[in-house]
Chain A
Amino acid sequence: SQQGEEDPQALSIQEGENATMNCSYKTSINNLQWYRQNSGRGLVHLILIRSNEREKHSGRLRVTLDTSKKSSSLLITASRAADTASYFCATVKNQGGKLIFGQGTELSVKP
């Protein structure tokens, strides 16, 4: 079952612009993770943010987590054409490590 919503479902921007994707979830979580998927491929892990963290950075990626609103955002700064992919948030509820995915955002970065 899906954990929640992601918006927008699709995002098209020009190279150099920033891209922001949002994710909402329904239950309490242990951590929230963001993954990237190129068309027809598996998923690549981007960032993991724990429930007691509010913000995390990795290169051009910035993730925020608001547990009171049960929401997270992924910001990609200075986007590149190579960032074109689908981006998924996924929550982990307990020690079992089971990932429950959001609906995903399809990002298109035009050169």
Chain B
Amino acid sequence: GAVVSQHPSRVICKSGTSVKIECRSLDFQATTMFWYRQFPKQSLMLMATSNEGSKATYEQGVEKDKFLINHASLTLSTLTVTSAHPEDSSFYICSAGQSYSNQPQHFGDGTRLSIL
């Protein structure tokens, strides 16, 4: 089945650091990838839709200058948390899918981000 690889799986860093998370579709081309944030015991909140070759579409309330998304190729999207602070600590998950909406999304294993 389709595989999405997300790295790193865990990051612990100091406040003020910028952190980059990669999401790769390993065996299919993904024109669209999605980035989610999940707090403990809660559901996934969509942050943004990453579109290959164009600007990401951010959900209401998500700061685009804080969460930089780059989708430079059909197999790679990156999320950079800039100048991270403790409140940015969370579980970040990406997903990728085929072009059609009637297909399931394939999820990465998530990145646990802890800002000290």
Contact = CB atoms under 8 A, between A and B. Distances in A.
Interface residues of B, number: 30
Interface string B54-79: 00000110000000000000000000
Interface in A13-59: 30-31, 33, 35, 40-45, 48, 50
Contact of B101 (A35, A42, A45, A97): A97
Nearest to A48: B104
A95 interface: yes
Contacts, number: 73
- By Cβ-Cβ distance, the 6 closest A-B pairs, closest first, are A42-B107, A45-B104, A43-B107, A97-B101, A42-B109, A101-B43
A94 interface: yes
A43 B43 contact: no
A45 B43 contact: no
22 contacts: A1-B45, A30-B101, A33-B105, A41-B110, A42-B93, A42-B107, A42-B109, A43-B44, A43-B93, A45-B105, A50-B102, A88-B44, A94-B101, A96-B32, A97-B100, A98-B34, A99-B46, A99-B105, A101-B46, A102-B43, A104-B42, A106-B41
